[in-house]
C-alpha cells in the first residue's frame, strides 16, 4: 500500500479551507444584506448599522484570501494535468 502524496494532501486541505472561507464570507455578505433590508423596513438603528458593517468587514477578510487560495489550488491542479502528473 502506498502512502498518499503529501503535496496532494495539503492541496486538498487548502481547497477545503478555501471552500469554507468562501462559504462563510458570502454568508456574511448575505446576512448583511438581510439586516440592511430589515433595518430599512423597520428602523436603521446604530446597533444594526454596526452589525451590518461588522458582517461586511469580516466577510471581506474571509472572502479575499479564500478566493485567492481557491484560484491557486485550481492553477496548481491545471499545471499538474498539463505536465501529465495527474
42 inside domain: yes
1 inside domain: no
* Residue 74, pLDDT score: 95
Say how many domains are in the chain.
1
pLDDT over 70 percentage in the chain: 98
Find out whether 28 and 55 touch, Cβ atoms under 8 Å: yes
Asked if pLDDT for residue 86 goes beyond 80, the answer is: no
Full 3-state SS string of the chain: CCCCCHHHHHHHHHHHHHHHHHHHHHHHHHHHHHHHHHHHHCCCCHHHHHHHHHHHHHHHHHHHHHHHHHHHHHHHHHHHHHCCCC
Residue 85 confidence class, pLDDT cut points 50, 70, 90 = confident
Full domain range(s) for residue 78: 6-82
39 inside domain: yes
Find out whether 15 and 73 touch, Cβ atoms under 8 Å: yes
Q: Can you tell me the mean pLDDT for 54-76? A: 96
Amino acid at each position: 500500500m502506498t502512502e498518499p502524496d503529501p503535496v496532494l494532501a495539503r492541496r486538498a486541505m487548502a481547497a477545503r479551507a478555501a471552500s469554507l472561507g468562501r462559504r462563510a464570507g458570502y454568508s456574511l455578505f448575505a446576512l448583511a444584506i438581510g439586516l440592511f433590508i430589515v433595518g430599512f423596513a423597520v428602523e436603521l438603528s446604530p446597533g444594526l448599522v454596526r452589525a451590518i458593517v461588522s458582517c461586511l468587514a469580516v466577510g471581506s477578510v474571509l472572502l479575499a484570501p479564500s478566493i485567492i487560495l481557491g484560484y491557486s489550488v485550481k492553477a496548481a491542479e491545471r499545471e499538474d494535468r498539463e505536465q501529465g502528473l495527474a
